């Protein structure tokens, strides 16, 4: 491992002052430490933010929004009664991610910032434009297709987060603070598509630090009919092959409003606004959900030998909408969207 400076600032102001090019923020360390061990990341300075005050709270704001500090642990957030009541598919996504041990260490801010699990990105001997700009993309050369939406010749990697998918669907906002002051970034705009600059993965400016995430009060309106479905190789823990966060606001037997985002299909959570528009005002049924899934994947194209993933993503999307229409379960299963859930609709097989 490369030698680096390690500091533990006591305040946010001290942390921001300590940042310089080549520095990284350290929260739970469940992603960055692994990448440092392999050499895929080689920072000059590691700034441990775990001692910063005020970043580990979950609070309900006067307008009904829920603010989540960036150092809140994934397990604590998944178990929080306000999240279970007002944003259940966020809890379901968190419970579907990683293992219990990792959820106990991983943080909200770290989840937003986790790097792709592309094997070529993680291998410092491989060509990867995301890790080393201008070197090429061995994943594309090998035909190891990953993304099916928004990919480019420079990078076909996908975003691995479960948590970010329902956040994007619910119009959550990321609160950041940096050298130029505080600002907010919608989660749907936080991660960037690769284009010609896949090394720029987020909208964060140099030196900016994630302070928290805010779920708007409007998210509560979808709580009765909201589900996250994750299709994966191993039910106990694995990254998604495809996933979908679906939420419906039903009135008089019709869909008054829909929210839909897909995961593991692009370099960012993919908000399916065309499908949402198609669903609005309609009576929920399987045929409608199939059409919405077609609309959500209308622009999909294989990035290698993964044409199968387009069909799987369609079926995952339609299934998540059917699950949402059936209603949020009163008790979330310990392994969401798995064969070990409490009902047939908890199965992970799309």
Partners of 257 in the β-ladder: 249
pLDDT tens digit sequence for 201-231: 999 999 999 999 999 999 999 999 999 999 9
- Per the document, the length of the chain is 350
Which residue is listed with tokens 């669903």?
A: 279
Which residue is listed with tokens 């294989």?
A: 302
Q: How far apart are CA 350 and CA 335, in angstroms?
A: 16
Cβ(124)–Cβ(59) below 8 Å: no
Q: How far apart are CA 150 and CA 193, in angstroms?
A: 6
pLDDT tens digit sequence for 148-189: 999 999 999 999 999 999 999 999 999 999 999 999 999 999
Distances in Å between the Cα of 103 and the Cα atoms of 30, 100, 163, 236, 291 are 9, 5, 11, 13, 35
**101 confidence band (pLDDT: 50, 70, 90):** confident
Which residue is listed with tokens 């960012």?
A: 268
Query: CA 337, 341, 347, 348 torsion: positive or negative?
Result: positive
Domain ranges of the chain: 1-52, 225-346
CB within 8 Å of 73: residues ≥ 6 apart = 28, 103, 104, 105, 106, 107
Is the pLDDT assigned to residue 45 strictly greater than 80? yes
CATH fold for domain 225-346: Enolase-like; domain 1 (3.30.390)
pLDDT tens digit sequence for 289-306: 999 999 999 999 999 999
Is the pLDDT assigned to residue 137 strictly greater than 90? yes
CATH fold for domain 1-52: 3.30.43
Q: Which helix (H) or strand (E) holds 109?
A: helix 108-113
How buried is 24 (Cβ within 10 angstroms: 0-12 exposed, 13-18 middle, 19+ buried)?
Answer: middle
* 8-state DSSP, 309: H
């Amino acid at each position: 491992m490369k030698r680096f400076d390690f500091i533990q600032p006591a305040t946010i102001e001290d942390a921001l002052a300590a940042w310089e090019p080549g520095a990284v923020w350290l929260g739970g360390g469940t992603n960055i430490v692994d990448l440092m061990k392999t050499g895929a990341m080689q920072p000059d300075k590691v700034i441990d933010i775990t001692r910063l005050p005020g970043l580990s709270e979950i609070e309900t704001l006067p307008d009904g929004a829920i603010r989540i500090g960036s150092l809140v642990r994934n397990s604590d957030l998944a178990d929080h009664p306000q999240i279970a009541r007002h944003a259940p598919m966020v809890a379901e996504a968190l419970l579907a991610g990683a293992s219990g041990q990792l959820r106990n260490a991983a943080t909200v801010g770290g989840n937003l910032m986790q790097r792709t699990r592309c094997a070529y990105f993680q291998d410092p001997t491989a060509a990867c434009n995301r890790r080393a700009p201008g070197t090429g993309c061995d994943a594309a050369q090998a035909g190891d297709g990953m993304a099916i939406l928004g990919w480019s010749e420079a990078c076909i990697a996908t975003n691995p987060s479960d948590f970010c998918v329902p956040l994007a669907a619910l119009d959550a906002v990321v609160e950041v603070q940096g050298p130029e002051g505080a600002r907010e970034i919608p989660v749907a705009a936080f991660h960037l598509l690769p284009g010609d600059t896949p090394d720029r993965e987020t909208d964060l400016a140099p030196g900016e630090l994630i302070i928290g995430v805010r779920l708007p009060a409007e998210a509560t309106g979808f709580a009765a009919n909201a589900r996250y479905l994750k299709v994966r190789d191993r039910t106990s823990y694995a990254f998604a092959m495809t996933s979908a966060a679906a939420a419906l606001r039903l009135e008089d037997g019709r869909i008054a409003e829909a929210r839909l985002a897909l995961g593991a299909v692009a370099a960012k959570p993919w908000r399916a606004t065309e499908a949402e528009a198609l669903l609005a005002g309609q009576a929920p049924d399987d045929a409608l959900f199939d059409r919405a899934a077609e609309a959500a994947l209308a622009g999909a194209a294989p990035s290698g030998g993964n044409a199968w993933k387009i069909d799987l993503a369609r079926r995952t999307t339609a299934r998540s909408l059917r699950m949402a229409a059936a209603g949020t379960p009163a008790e979330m299963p310990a392994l969401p969207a798995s064969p070990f859930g409490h009902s047939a609709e908890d199965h992970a097989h799309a």
